[in-house]
Amino acid sequence: MAEAADGVDAADGARPTVLTVVGARPQFIKAAPVSRALAAGGYDEVLVHTGQHYDDGLSGVFFDELDIPRPDYHLGVGSGSHGEQTGRMLSALGERIAAVDPEFVVVYGDTNSTLAGGIAASKLDTTLVHVEAGLRSGRREMPEEVNRLMTDHAADVLLAPTERAMESLAREGLSERAHRTGDVSADAVRWARERAPAVADVFADLGVDDPPAAGEFVLATVHRPRNTDDGARLRAIVKTLTDSPLPVVFPAHPRTTAALEEHGLLEALEESESVILVEPVGYLGFVRLMSAADRVLTDSGGVQKETFLLGTPCVTLREETEWPETVEAGWNVLVGADPEAMAAGLTGEVPEAPADSPSPYGDGDAASEIVEVLDGVRS
Distance of alpha carbon 82 from alpha carbon 243, whole angstroms: 35
Q: Which of the residues 74, 130, 223, 253 is marked catalytic? A: 223
Asked about 223 being catalytic, the answer comes back as yes
- For residue 264, which amino acid is it? G
Q: Are 78 and 101 in contact (CB under 8 A)?
A: no
CB atoms within 10 A of CB 177: 19
Q: Is 239 exposed, middle or buried (0-12, 13-18, 19+ CB in 10 A)?
A: middle
The residues annotated as belonging to the active site are: 223
